[in-house]
């Protein structure tokens, strides 16, 4: 695994030196934003590979290469991150991707001011264009269409220069199938259709329709319709805001039907329905002002307080959430990294993600550190809250950090 400032030697390009500018770690892959030191050739690019802890999974590398080749064969589309070709780095396969200057849909959802329903519809139309193209593109071996399998806000990029939506990570969730504790599914549970969780080999384009519906639902409400694996039960989805226009609500609810036969059959029909709303109901859409979305309760924002306090808060939240996300911007990023280092020393599993928030037209760097308790091995001792203070042997120990 490379770090910022490291040089990457690519076997296919001898003599060129690529320098890592940024490292983005996701649930299944890792992306290195690089530039060529001499500033000639490709300029900036993104190199994507499987995370080191997934490479050892049986068949993961072969599936990664197959899905990457399919992504490359999609060719060029304005709303799809272009996959150029495969290269080899330290005997591991990497995909060379188009570099998109901007942030994810997740970042835009929580930006101020709120994006509003009109912008959500505009973004959704671009996602539909990308997915309709991907689902209808002929592939090698006589196959037609590439499924995404992991549509979610983190896999949708928004270019900062013009607001163009770019869908990324096509099919790569299949590379780590077998690592999940539920069947052999690969993906993100909150966005996965019931059939993708229980019978992943049977999925078709309607599974992507479901994931898109969950994403649109979250754009408008700030939450997903089914928490974790509740989609496998019989409960109804969490209710939409009653002020959401009925036309858009009916589209969302049709996308997230448990029975795939009741969903839209393809993205062309979704796009047509959204265009009809945009053309004939624009006053209704423009009149809907969703409230500013708040980050979920499992987020911890790092500011000026001492590192020990943030470590204490994360440990406390671990009692209620399987994953806690530490977030910091600008000059607080270093403090957040120190929080992460202390959590790692306690046996927590961490994932780092860096990017930029758009704040009133100005890009501000941020870091998100996902801390999971699945491998938590706490040190001996206790920690509890008394009023506004944290007390106990662990609290006393971590106070010494600062």
In the β-sheet with 102-104, what is the strand arrangement from edge to edge?
Answer: 102-104, 156-159, 165-167
Q: Across the strands, what pairs with 301? A: 327
Distance CA 245, CA 248 (A): 6
Residue 374 CA to its chain's centroid (Å): 20
Residue of 226, 191, 232 lying closest to 208 (CA atoms): 191
The rounded distance, in Å, linking the Cα atoms of 213 and 372 is: 27
Indicate if the alpha-carbon torsion angle 177, 182, 187, 193 is positive or negative.
Answer: positive
- Residue 169 falls in the annotated catalytic set: no
Q: List the catalytic residue out of 70, 150, 208, 357.
A: 150
Alpha carbons 314 and 367: distance in angstroms, whole number: 16
Give φ, ψ of 311 to 5 degrees.
-60, -45
Rounded Cα distance, 189 and 13, in Å: 39
CA neighbor of 350 nearest in space, from 331, 332, 337: 337
Would you give the end-to-end CA distance of the chain in angstroms? Answer: 29
Q: Is-cis flag, bond preceding 369, omega within 30? A: no
Cα gap 377→250, rounded to integer Å: 46
- Residue linked to tokens 């993600």: 353
| Residue burial 23-60, b: 16+ Cβ < 10 Å; e: rest | bbbbbbbbbbbbbbeeeeeeeebbbbbbbeebeebeeb
Chain-centre distance for alpha carbon 182: 20
Residues with catalytic roles: 150
């Amino acid at each position: 695994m490379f770090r910022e400032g490291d040089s990457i030697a690519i076997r296919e390009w001898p003599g060129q030196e690529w320098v890592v500018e940024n490292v983005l770690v996701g649930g299944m892959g890792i992306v290195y934003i690089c530039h060529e030191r001499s500033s000639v050739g490709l300029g900036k690019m993104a190199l994507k590979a499987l995370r080191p802890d997934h490479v050892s999974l049986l068949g993961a590398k072969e599936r990664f290469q197959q899905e990457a080749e399919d992504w490359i064969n999609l060719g060029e589309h304005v709303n799809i991150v272009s996959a150029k070709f495969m290269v080899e780095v330290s005997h591991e396969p990497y995909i060379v991707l188009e570099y998109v200057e901007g942030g994810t849909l997740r970042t835009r959802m929580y930006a101020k001011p709120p994006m509003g329903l009109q912008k959500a519809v505009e973004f959704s139309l671009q996602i539909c264009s990308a997915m309709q193209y991907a689902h209808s593109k002929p592939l090698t071996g006589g196959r037609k269409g590439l499924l995404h399998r992991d549509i979610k806000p983190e896999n949708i990029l928004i270019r900062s220069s013009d607001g163009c939506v770019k869908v990324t990570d096509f099919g790569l969730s299949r590379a780590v199938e077998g690592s999940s504790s539920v069947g052999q599914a690969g993906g993100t549970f909150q966005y996965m259709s019931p059939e993708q969780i229980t019978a992943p080999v049977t999925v078709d384009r309607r599974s992507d329709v479901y994931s898109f519906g969950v994403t649109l639902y979250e754009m408008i409400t700030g939450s997903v319709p089914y928490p974790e694996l509740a989609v496998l039960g019989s409960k109804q989805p969490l209710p939409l805001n009653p002020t959401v226009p009925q036309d858009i609500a009916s589209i969302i609810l049709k996308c997230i039907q448990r029975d795939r036969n009741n969903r839209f059959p393809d993205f062309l029909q979704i796009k047509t329905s959204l265009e009809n709303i945009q053309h004939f109901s624009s006053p209704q859409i423009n009149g809907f002002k969703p409230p500013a979305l708040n980050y979920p309760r499992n987020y911890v924002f790092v500011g000026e307080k001492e590192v020990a306090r943030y470590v204490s808060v994360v440990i406390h939240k671990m009692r209620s959430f399987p994953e806690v996300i530490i977030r910091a911007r600008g000059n607080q990023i270093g403090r957040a990294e120190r929080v992460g280092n202390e959590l790692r020393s306690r046996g927590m599993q961490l994932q780092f993600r860096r990017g930029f928030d758009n704040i009133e037209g100005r890009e501000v760097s941020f870091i998100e550190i996902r801390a999971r308790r699945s491998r938590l091995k706490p040190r001996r001792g206790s920690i509890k809250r008394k009023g506004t203070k944290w007390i106990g042997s662990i609290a006393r120990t971590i106070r010494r950090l600062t």
